[in-house]
Structures are given as structure tokens and as C-alpha cells.
Amino acid sequence: MKILLIEDEKKVASFIKKGLEEEFFTVDVAFDGKQGFNLASVENYDIIVSDIMLPFLDGITLTKLLREKKITTPILLLTVKDSVKDKVTGLDAGADDYLTKPFAFEELLARVRALARRNEGNLSSLLHVADLQLDQKSHKVLRGEKEIFLTQKEYVILELLLLNKDGIVSRTKLLESIYDYHFDTGSNVIEVFINKLRAKIETGFQQQLIYTIRGSGYMIKEPAE
């Protein structure tokens, strides 16, 4: 899942970003409200985590503007203010949840997961193709009876391919899933990760699952009979 974090305190932003990435989330960071609003307006995020006290555009106003644009992405607001009035103001602006600083990362993670479940509804967490399966809840990957151990970025790429099974996923979309918008799209890093994935999920098995669609991207599909 892809998260937009809007936080002007760079140490706090770095701490949250690192923690979420270790839990298999992809995180873009904006350091002021205006930048965050612009990103949220043009990119597709699963969750937005935003501080309230931000330069240029505060979190409350940002939330109101996003809701006016009919952007329904779940929003978790962070703030040092803990009065009932402040919380009501944030929720009335269109936020989905509210967390007071300082907080334990485990609590932030629990709230992010709750918003993710709410956003996903009752969809199955199990993705599969042929005898390969990926459990989005446990992050366990199996090929037949063999457990496949993936790095965080390998997992994210495989998950995206499975979510788009039988469809082409472009290099750009794959890059955006594992790096933020600053990354050089001319890099061959996706080819490197795809090769590593193939080595882990196809070596020792008879059936190929990941296909290169020349000039377009990559596809995962059921093997031809």
C-alpha cells in the first residue's frame, strides 16, 4: 500500500517513513502542506498521514480542500493538540482519525492498518497465480509448499504484479511503488529486481510466471498449458 506522509519535522518524518517501510508500505514524504496537497491531488494514495501544524497550508485546511476535490483517501491527522474541540475540528474537516503527539509507533501503525482495512472492505488478503500465493496480511509468500523469502521491495513489486494479474504493469508504475517521486525513472533498477524475483520464484520450478512485455512493462499470469 502507498502512503503519503506530510510532516515538516524531518527527523519525525524519517522515523515514521522508515518504520512504515519496514512494514511493507511504500511512503512518499512532503515537508509542507502545499507540497502535500499537490501530491495528494495528482497521485493515488491508499492513506494520507498528515501533521496539522504545517508550513504554507495547515493539515485541517489541507483536509478540507482534498474533500472538496472529492478525494476520499483516508486521512490520519497528527498533532500536539489533544483537546476534544481540536479533535472534533479535525474530524469535521473530513479526517478519518486523529493521533496526538507524542505517540508510540506501534499505535500509529495500528491506526494505519485499521484505515487500510476499512479502505479495503472485505476483500480477500490472498493473492495467487498458479501455485504461487501471497498473503497480504502475514506477508508470507509460497510457491507450492516452499516458502519464498523476499526483501521489502521485492515483495511490493510482486504484490503489485499479482494485483494486476494478466495485465501489464509499466516500469514507471513499478518504480513509483518502491521509490518516491524524486527517483530517476531512467534507472534499470526494476530490471534488477525482476531478475531477483524470477530467481526466487521460478528457479527450480517448471512453469514461468513473470513475463517481460517489450516496450510496455511486465506481467504475471497463469502459465500456458
CB within 8 A of 130, min separation 6: which ones? Answer: 207, 209, 222, 223
What was the pLDDT predicted at 32?
96
What was the pLDDT predicted at 212?
93
User: What's the chain's average pLDDT?
Assistant: 87
What was the pLDDT predicted at 124?
53
Residue pair 17/30 in contact by the 8 Å Cβ criterion: no
2-120 fold: Rossmann fold (3.40.50)
What are the domain boundaries of the chain? 2-120, 126-220
What was the pLDDT predicted at 122?
45
> Using one digit for the tens of pLDDT, what is the confidence trace for 101-125?
888 888 899 889 888 877 665 445 7
How far is it, in rounded angstroms, from Cα 31 to Cα 56? 10
Query: Is the confidence at residue 182, as pLDDT, over 80?
Result: no
- SS3 label, residue 201: helix
Mind giving me the DSSP string for 115-145? HHHHHHTT--SEEEETTEEEETTT--EEETT
Identical topology for domains 2-120 and 126-220: no
What was the pLDDT predicted at 9?
93
CATH code for the domain defined by 126-220? 1.10.10.10
How far is it, in rounded angstroms, from Cα 83 to Cα 89? 10
> Using one digit for the tens of pLDDT, what is the confidence trace for 142-152?
999 899 999 88
- pLDDT grade, residue 171 (50/70/90)? confident
163 versus 70: the higher-pLDDT residue is: 70
